[in-house]
Amino acid sequence: MDVFAGCTMSVKMWELTVSEKFNKLFSELEYCKKAKQIQKIKEMNRLIEEMNSETLDSVFTTDLFNEISRMIEEKKLNWNNAFLLLKCIGNCSLLNNCYDFEFLHSSLLERFEELIFEEYKKIEEKNKMVFVNICECYLLFYNEVPHQLLSTCVSCLLIIALNKEETEEVQKKVEMALLTLSCIIEDFNIEKRLYFPDIKEIIEYHQKFHNLTQIAYQSAWEFLIKRRRNEDSLEEVIVNELHFAREATKEVEELAKCANWKRKGKMKMGKEGIVISRWLKTLGKFLDLCKSWDDECDELIHCLVSRFREANDNYGEINNVNMYFFIQAVRRRDKAIDAFLKNGAIEAVLEKVVQLNAKLRIVDNSLRMLKILLFGLKSEMEKENDEVKRKEKKRVVREKMEEEGFEDCVYGYLHCWIKDKYFSYSFVLNVEDYFFNL
């Protein structure tokens, strides 16, 4: 009888969804002893790694964070075990572009703020790892660490990130430290002496020995690019010494070889897609903040136009949001516009617009991209002194648009948008913008 009961339980557990399995384990957590609790948290973390952004949103509610806070207060969950769970939640939420605002409304945020100040006061007296764990959890959920703690937090995380051992355990710690550093917002002014020698060493060492994970390397660059906003002298190093454009191109190309671009159906974005998505956001910041331009930047544009062509609807984050912001970042830069045109950006966008099965959101963002490109082209041609060259550019672009049946397509989408009450007033109703701005 017991055997059959055990089989029944196994079948029931197998039939549960990922979120149901997680909630079941979470409900049992406070009744376990420490060793069993760690085991359950590891099982929960494995389930978290399987979740997509929708599931993460549905599971990690204010109530759940309040429950964690209650268990800590009642000493049914110690801080070390809480860190183990929370870091996985924060890590997966961040990589899935799922920003957990539920955490900000929970009592756990206040409890973290009390703890972070408490540990900060005694940081010189003890091991800094407790403070590092708090900083990692705090920044993964809430990227505005208190200013008075910022320098100490950055220094502690860089100590972890500088570890060059290549064991799996150390690599995970390094990745988490760099991912956390990448969360610190651009507006936070950190003294250059506190981070620059270390982050430069981390990037250069990886370029030579390839010791970092893909996410760790991208995160190191994200942290450095963000610092450019408050430190003009970084541009020379970023562009000419560390060769960001070259490195980003190489990384995105390698990731694209592994990404499954042809898959069908709505699925969780794979690891390669997640890292490509993060690189594209960093590239947008780079073009917004750094004004230098060289042949490596031209290669970068070629790479990104190619990725846009390859990505299908399943990689909407790559197709829509990131490419849109990328083009926005370069819309006033003549050299970037030239690079986009030379590498077939207009053709790539038109291909998306004329797809019969394209989603309206994809078309909307594609039209936005096209408008930015055409406005940039118009501005560039106004500066072009050679009338023959100017007319030739107009002819080539206009012929391409007519060849693809673009005008009829836009008017067709205008009808769909009005019928479905889904359209962008500034982009669809002003259809003439796409034809007369040249």
Task: Note whether 322 and 279 are within 8 A (CB).
Answer: no
In terms of average pLDDT, the best of 229-233, 253-257, 301-305, 376-380 is 229-233
**Both structure tokens of 336:** 């970037």
pLDDT digits (tens, 9 = 90+) for 319-331: 665 666 666 666 6
Collapse the DSSP code of 162 into the 3-class scheme (helix H, G, I; strand E, B; otherwise coil) and give the result: coil
How deeply is 327 buried, as exposed, middle or buried, from its count of CB atoms within 10 A (0-12, 13-18, 19+)?
Answer: buried
Mean pLDDT of 389-415: 66
Identity at 221, one-letter amino acid code: W
| 238 CB-near residues (< 8 Å, 6+ apart) | 224, 225, 228, 244, 286, 290
Instruction: Look up residue 321 and give its DSSP letter.
Output: I
Alpha carbons 97 and 125: distance in angstroms, whole number: 37
Which pLDDT band holds residue 426 (cuts at 50, 70, 90)? very low
Q: Which has more pLDDT, 111 or 361?
A: 111
pLDDT digits (tens, 9 = 90+) for 153-183: 999 999 999 999 989 999 999 999 999 999 9
In our burial notation (b when 16+ CB lie closer than 10 A, e otherwise), range 159-180 reads: ebbeeeeeeeeebebbbbbbbb
For the entire predicted model, the pTM comes to: 0.84
**Percent of the chain with pLDDT strictly greater than 90:** 41
How deeply is 361 buried, as exposed, middle or buried, from its count of CB atoms within 10 A (0-12, 13-18, 19+)?
Answer: middle
Alpha carbons 370 and 169: distance in angstroms, whole number: 46
| 44 CB-near residues (< 8 Å, 6+ apart) | 22, 25, 26, 85, 88
Nearest residue to 182 via CA among 110, 281, 50, 254: 281
Instruction: Look up residue 239 and give its DSSP letter.
Output: I
For residue 171, how far is the Cα from the chain centroid?
A: 20
Task: Note whether 330 and 337 are within 8 A (CB).
Answer: yes
Task: Note whether 309 and 351 are within 8 A (CB).
Answer: yes
Alpha carbons 387 and 125: distance in angstroms, whole number: 73
Provide the 10 A C-beta neighbour count for residue 366.
Answer: 25
> How many residues appear in the chain?
438
Alpha carbons 158 and 184: distance in angstroms, whole number: 13
Alpha carbons 402 and 2: distance in angstroms, whole number: 73
Identity at 152, one-letter amino acid code: T
pLDDT digits (tens, 9 = 90+) for 198-227: 999 999 999 999 999 999 999 999 999 999
What are the CB-based long-range contacts (under 8 Å, 24+) for 405-410?
A: 405/354, 406/350, 406/353, 406/354, 406/434, 407/434, 407/435, 409/353, 409/354, 410/353, 410/367, 410/434
Instruction: Look up residue 425 and give its DSSP letter.
Output: I
**Longest alpha-carbon distance in the chain:** 90
pLDDT digits (tens, 9 = 90+) for 253-312: 998 887 665 555 544 567 888 898 899 889 888 988 888 888 898 898 888 888 777 765
Residue 219: per-residue pLDDT: 97
C-alpha torsion sign, points 369, 375, 376, 378: positive
